[in-house]
A and B are shown apart, each in its own frame.
Chain A
Amino acid sequence: MKTQLELNVSSRGAMSGVLTMGSLDPAFAAATEVRGEPVEVDLRTVEFVEPAGLCGLAALLEFLCARCQDVSLTLPRRDVPAYLERMNFFRIFGDRIGTNADVEALEERRRHNPGTLQELINFHTEEEIPGIIHRISEILENQGYRLRERVAICSTLSEVCANAAEHGVSSFGAYAAVQAYHHIVSGSRRRGEEVLIAIADGGVGVRETLSRNPKYAEETATDNDALRYALEMGVSGTGEIGRGGGLALVAGIAARSGGSLSLRSGTGRVTVYESRKNSRNVPRFPGTFVRVSLPRTPQEKPAR
């Protein structure tokens, strides 16, 4: 008998059918109860996967694979398995989990997706980051992204990945993915383009990291307190001057561009927008997760 892990994929509104981080909440909650028995994650209600959902799914599967031998994924037909294949998902998990999808057939019709700026990538150390940044920068340059956009995307990815490599030490390290869309995915149905960056690690989380510094006791009373504090300039676990600037600065870049940065760890989630910061209590996430939305302003076509 397999334990079924259900997802919460919304069936209405702008995020209908989208696998987001939030849609994995019930699965994470149920996963903590798993004690070695076979587990099945049911993705059949999913129509569309965004990087946050992909990194979240990777973290969930790592969490499950550490707890039981037999983990399987039930996928809907058509688009979702093809997308996962293009995002290198099966290259990372193919040997470790079972699936109803015909992965070999997918590999045969594998095509490049121009919107994919970074396939799902697993990394463990700071040393791996410059290589990741060089590669995505080249892709962005080839696709005509302006310097300012490349800087925003690359520095967000490098700072958040560096945090994950430094604080997110876990058996599986961290996952990242970046995808560009010719429409706005996050929230409202505005016109425009958007780049989504997601990074998930399985480390101890923000509150634990910050509370190692005794002088932050008051600021780390809850997960949300710790997340809000971590987003301030100059706040870091070690408390050394000069540390803890990266996250605050990249949150500022996202907010100023009209996008957002969402930081999730433990039972907290804080999202930074241009004019406000929202905190919410959410089901526990075992690690730290960051999702950044960077809208693209339309590029003026050069006169011919």
Chain B
Amino acid sequence: MPEERAQQTFEIAGGDFGGKLMVTRRTGRAVRSALEEALMDLPKGGTLYVDTRGVELMDYSFADEALGILASRVASGEYGERHLVLVEEDRDMLENVEASLMQRSLAMIRVDEVGAEPAIVGKVPDHLVDTLQAIYDAGSITNTALAAKLGLNNTACNNRATRLAKLGLIHRKTETAAPGGRQYAYERIA
């Protein structure tokens, strides 16, 4: 299992933003700044669980402003190696989150509850899906071991995993491998 990294849960409906009804970009911006703050309060490598389960309605404008833009900033490395996971059941409301992530060619990891099996919201390129699945199955895996598992050479494997790390879907760290070598290892974020 991966070493314990910090995690924090942020309940959107619990804040002073709009309770069960999340509408407009303006509200989305307010929620996003609160989420950014919570994210930056985490040590590097930490995961912020964004819990939207108490929300009844999230319009597209809100979803894009609060989560779409946040995911795009995670993907551009703005928050360092800090990760985002959506806590939400598979229900209609996800459509707007999904639509925003699809527009942005991004994806997020989603769980029904903290600790539950992860799923994907949004778009992960087809050729990366197996790689993502293998990393989540392993929990934590070195580049060499992952390459062997997927039948890829080390460089191709590294490229794919790096792309997943950039999308914010996995955690990547450098491991010192005996003797004297260093290589990447990948971990699931939820």
Contact = CB atoms under 8 A, between A and B. Distances in A.
Contacts of A133: 21, 23, 57
A151 B23 contact: no
A124 B185 CA distance: 53
Nearest to A138: B21
Contacts of A249: 60, 95-96, 99
Chain A interface helix/strand/loop/mixed:
helix
B103 interface: yes
A162 B103 contact: no
A151 B92 contact: yes
Contacts of A234: 103
Interface string A217-246: 000000000000000011000000111011
Given A147-B56, A242-B69, A162 B21 contact: no
Contacts of A147: 56
Contact of A150 (B57, B59, B96, B99): B57
Interface stretch (B24-32, B132-140, B154-162, B163-171): B24-32
Contact of A130 (B27, B69, B95, B96): B27
A129 B103 contact: no
Interface residues of B, number: 25
Contacts of B100: 242, 245
Interface string B10-34: 0000000011010111110000000
A232 to B, nearest CB: 12
Interface string B78-108: 0000000000000011011001100110000
A245 B65 CA distance: 11
A130 B23 contact: yes
Interface in A263-288: none
Contacts of B27: 130
B103 A233 contact: yes
Contacts, number: 77
B103 A246 contact: no
Q: Which of B24, B68, B95 has the most CB of A within 10 A?
A: B24
B21 A134 contact: yes
B108 to A, nearest CB: 14
Nearest to B22: A130
Contact of A126 (B25, B57, B60, B64): B25
A250 B61 CA distance: 11
A158 B59 contact: yes
A159 interface: yes
A127 interface: yes
Contacts of B64: 242-243, 245
Interface string B32-74: 0000000000000000000000001101110010001100100
Nearest to A156: B59
Contacts of B59: 154-155, 158-159, 162, 246
Contacts of B96: 155, 249
Interface in A11-67: none
A159 B18 contact: no
A148 interface: yes
Contacts of A130: 18, 21, 23-24, 27
B70 to A, nearest CB: 11
B61 A151 contact: no
B24 A158 contact: yes
B24 A242 contact: no
A134 B20 CA distance: 9
Nearest to B63: A245
Nearest to A158: B23
A242 B104 contact: yes
Contacts of A243: 64
A99 interface: no
B169 to A, nearest CB: 19
A130 B23 CA distance: 6
Given A155-B59, A158-B59, A159-B59, A126 B24 contact: yes
A129 B23 CA distance: 8
Interface of A: 126-127, 129-130, 133-134, 137, 147-148, 150-151, 154-155, 158-159, 162, 233-234, 241-243, 245-246, 249-250
23 contacts: A126-B26, A129-B24, A148-B92, A150-B57, A151-B56, A151-B92, A151-B93, A154-B57, A155-B60, A155-B96, A158-B23, A158-B59, A159-B61, A162-B23, A233-B103, A241-B72, A241-B104, A242-B69, A245-B60, A245-B61, A245-B64, A246-B61, A250-B60
